[in-house]
Structure 1
Amino acid sequence: MFTITFRVTKKQLAAAAAALVLAFAGGLWAKSALSELAGDVAQAPAEVKIEKTAAKTNEQRVSFLESFGWEVEPEAEEILDVLIPKEMDDVFSNYNEIQKAQGCDLTKYAGKRCKRYTYIVNNYPDQPENIRANIVTYKNKIIGGDVCSIELNGFMHGFAAETD
């Protein structure tokens, strides 16, 4: 018979609780932002080839964003491990429509752990701040992403700049 015990300090418990609250709040924000996109998906030009672009280094990721005309901070603001859900809900389906419009399809990565790199965009037209570019990678290759506003009634679209 084996007995396994764990010792958890109050500091570790508090850190875990804080991380859980932050993850929950981020999920709520993402769900509300993506819910507004239901019928408003921006289409990228057909010639854009995104999926499987190399993204092993920070320089490759920044260069990729610059190829769409975005000026970004030289280092990622945030790097997160993300899990592509096995079953798509409406929010994820709406997000995946943005990906399909730019030649990507995240359903191929269902159940896979990926990385999301978030960069601050400095040159979005008429909005000098609160704009982010997200790059989603799997095995150091770009599989999707978006450009979005982090403001309350923000927007989200593919990598290509929106055209009216």
Structure 2
Amino acid sequence: MRVLTFKANPKTIFGIVLAITGIIVIILSFAGNHSEKTEPTSAAIGCANTQERVKYLNSVGWETDGNENKKQIIIPSKFNDVYTRYNDIQKKQGFDLEQYKGKKATIYTYSITNYKSNNNVVADLIVYDGKLIGADLCDPSADSGFLTALSGKD
């Protein structure tokens, strides 16, 4: 039977312990910084039916008569300048249409009844698979039209 011996002085042992501790710290910090990607908060907003959509609009301060217009769309596979700017508005609200490129979605449009002195304002909610993926507030008229985030500020 053979016996393996190791002769080391205290400085060598301290160096080995220090190196092992450093490796453990690096592994733990790497694992902590690269945790599983979570869904954005917007993905948790259910808008599968009219009641949920109206409730969401009310929660951000907008009132509507409850009537909706529904339109099927396909989010472009490649964004042009206009769609890129539109998606920038979405990102400011916690939405991002990038992951839905090329997919079919539904836009639900509601007349807003409590917008300051303007009767033409509508809210658009973009819904994919029962979840809200985008939203905007706009006045589609030619003379005073605008498009902005649901907060009313861009």
In the superposition, the TM-score normalised over structure 1's length comes to: 0.66
Provide structure 2 residue ranges, at least 5 long, that are not aligned to the other structure: 1-40
Alpha-carbon distance, 1:130 to partner: 0.6
Q: 2:120 aligns with which of 130, 133, 149?
A: 130
> Whose radius of gyration is greater, 1 or 2?
2
**TM-score relative to the length of structure 2:** 0.70
Cα drift, residue 51 of structure 1: 3.6
Q: Calculate the aligned-residue CA RMSD, in Å.
A: 1.3
The aligned counterpart of 1:72 is 64
32, 49, 63: which one aligns with 2:55? 63
Flag structure 1 segments of 5+ consecutive residues without an equivalent.
1-48
Sequence identity, in percent? 34
CA separation in 2, counterparts of 1:148 and 1:50? 20
Q: Which structure carries more relative contact order (alpha carbon 8 Å, separation 6+)?
A: 1
Quote the Cα distance in structure 2 between the aligned partners of 1:66 and 1:146.
14
Work out whether residues 106 and 144 of structure 1, in 8 Å CA contact, stay in contact via their aligned partners in 2.
yes
Give aligned pairs, total: 113
Corresponding residue for 2:45?
53
Residues of 2 paired with 1:148 and 1:111: CA distance? 24
Whether 1:143 aligns to 2:133 is: yes
1:5-24 Cα distance to aligned partner (Å, 9 max, x none): xxxxxxxxxxxxxxxxxxxx
Of Structure 1 and Structure 2, the greater strand share is in 2
Deviation at 1:159, TM superposition (A): 1.3
Q: Which residue identity lines up with residue 114 of structure 1 in the other structure? A: A
Runs of 4+ in 1 over 3 A off after TM superposition: 49-52
CA distance in 2: counterparts of 1:96 and 1:117, whole angstroms: 17
